[in-house]
Amino acid sequence: MFPFLKIMVRNLIQGPATDPYPFAPAHTPAKFRGCAVHDPEKCILCGICRHVCAPGAIQLRPSEDGSGMQFALWHNSCVFCGMCAHYCPTGALKMSTNWKLAHLGEERFDNAIANFIPFGQCAECGKRIQPRPRAITDRLGADNPDRFLLCPECKRTSVARLATEERRSHTQETV
Amino acid sequence: MLKFMSKLAPRSPWIYRINAGSCNGCDVEMATAALIPRYDVERLGCKYCGSPRHADVVLISGPLTMRVRDRVLRVYDEIPHPKVTVGIGVCPVSGGCFRESYSVEADISRYIPLDVIVPGCPPRPQAIIDGIVKAVDVLRNRIEEGVCSRS
């Protein structure tokens, strides 16, 4: 008898099933893939993000004076696949949980990340090289931190110098 | 009387969907945003209508393939002024994954002015509701000023 009473009482206790957004904040899962965020401090300009970006949302353009590169990511082209964050060797690109990206049509080109990343400098000759932030020196340059900060030519010279010195000491020992 | 009506009109915008060659992902999200009680866009006074002649807000998804271009434009021209266009997903604004493809006419704003853009692939239902709220604001301004979207 009165089977609806059970449902009515249950619904009265539980409240409405409707998600209250936009009148109350919406629940976002912790692993939700929203728009990408870029940390210019960690970026080493390797370009793997641009390579794996399927819709071509990421661009790396050299600046006019040649002092660095302009990193640009257009959210209106990004499909949130997260490949750039997956392949980024230093964790400079990450996917945030931000999905509130709706905007007016006039602001379409403002909805982007634009960061300038300056090149690094060779510790010996001062030539421009890829940036060497802490994020990459701690991992790849851990074995030989001094040589990791050199440009390719200085690195070759330093390796050759080291080899000659070793050889000289070796011959001196044998003599 | 007209002033009174124009005050009431943006309180119940009727929504019309156009699929301009979309992969159906955004269409599914649009359907969920409107139809199921969980995200219920009808709380905002919106209603999906079947005829473009009744619509105020147009939701366009898809990169406007060449195959549907003329049909989309014909349907779009049937919608009476003032109309507000909402681009759902990244396809209408940039082409997304189909960018620079031979059969794709994105950017859609070469043909249809996009008033509100909801990026995502597909966007969340809540993001679509966000875009509809923005579109209703645009519609309110447009009714007050009495301007057409394509002039």
DSSP per-residue string spanning chain A: --HHHHHHHHHHHH---S--TTSSPPP--TT----EEE-TTT-----HHHHH-TT--EEEEE-TTSSEEEEEEETTT-----HHHHH-SSS-EEE-S-----EEGGGTTTSEEEEEEE-EE-TTT--EE----HHHHTTTSSS-HHHHTS-HHHHHHHHHHHHHHHHHHHHHHH-
- Give pLDDT < 70 ranges for chain B: 148-151
Select A29-118's CATH number: 3.30.110.30, 3.40.50.300, 3.40.640.10, 3.30.70.3270.
3.30.70.3270
Q: From A35, which residue of chain B is nearest by alpha-carbon distance? A: B120
pLDDT at A52: 94
CATH 3.30.70.3270 residue window(s) in chain A: 29-118
Mean residue pLDDT across chain A = 88
pLDDT at A175: 66
Which DSSP category does B147 fall into? -
Given CB atoms, is A108 within the 8 Å cutoff of chain B? Answer: yes
Residue A93's alpha-carbon distances to A51, A87, A96, A137, B141, in angstroms, are 14, 9, 10, 17, 39
Whether residues B117 and A21 touch (CB distance < 8 A) is answered with no
Burial class of residue A152 in the structure, from the number of CB atoms within 10 Å of its CB (0-12 exposed, 13-18 middle, 19+ buried): exposed
Q: How many CB pairs under 8 A join A and B?
A: 97
The rounded percent of chain A whose pLDDT value lies above 90 is 30
Whether residues A77 and B39 touch (CB distance < 8 A) is answered with no
pTM of the predicted model as reported, rounded to 2 decimal places: 0.84
**Considering only CB atoms, which chain B residues are within 8 Å of A83?**
none
Whether residues B127 and A17 touch (CB distance < 8 A) is answered with no
Interface of B with A in 36-75 (CB under 8 A): 37-40, 43
pLDDT at B150: 58
**Closest CA–CA distance from residue A53 to any residue of chain B (Å):** 9
Chosen from B121, B133, B134 to mutate, greatest number of chain A CBs within 10 A: B121
Query: How do residues A92-135 score in pLDDT, each as one tens digit?
Result: 999 999 998 899 988 888 888 999 999 988 888 888 888 888 88
Strand pairing of A120-121 and A128-129? antiparallel
pLDDT at B148: 66
pLDDT at B151: 40
- pLDDT higher than 90, residue A38: yes
Q: What is the CA radius of gyration of chain A?
A: 27
Whether residues B119 and A55 touch (CB distance < 8 A) is answered with no
Helices (H), ranges, B100-124: none
The rounded percent of chain A whose pLDDT value lies above 70 is 99
Quote the tokens at residue A16.
């409405």
The mean pLDDT value for A134-144 works out to 81
Whether residues B120 and A80 touch (CB distance < 8 A) is answered with yes
Query: How do residues A157-170 score in pLDDT, each as one tens digit?
Result: 988 988 898 888 88
**Considering only CB atoms, which chain B residues are within 8 Å of A19?**
38-40, 126
The mean pLDDT value for A73-93 works out to 91
> Residue B52 and residue A22: Cα distance in Å, rounded?
27
The mean pLDDT value for A135-139 works out to 82
Residue B23's alpha-carbon distances to A34, A102, B31, B75, in angstroms, are 20, 20, 14, 19
* 3-state secondary structure at position B18: strand
ipTM value of the model?
Answer: 0.83
Interface of B with A in 3-22 (CB under 8 A): none
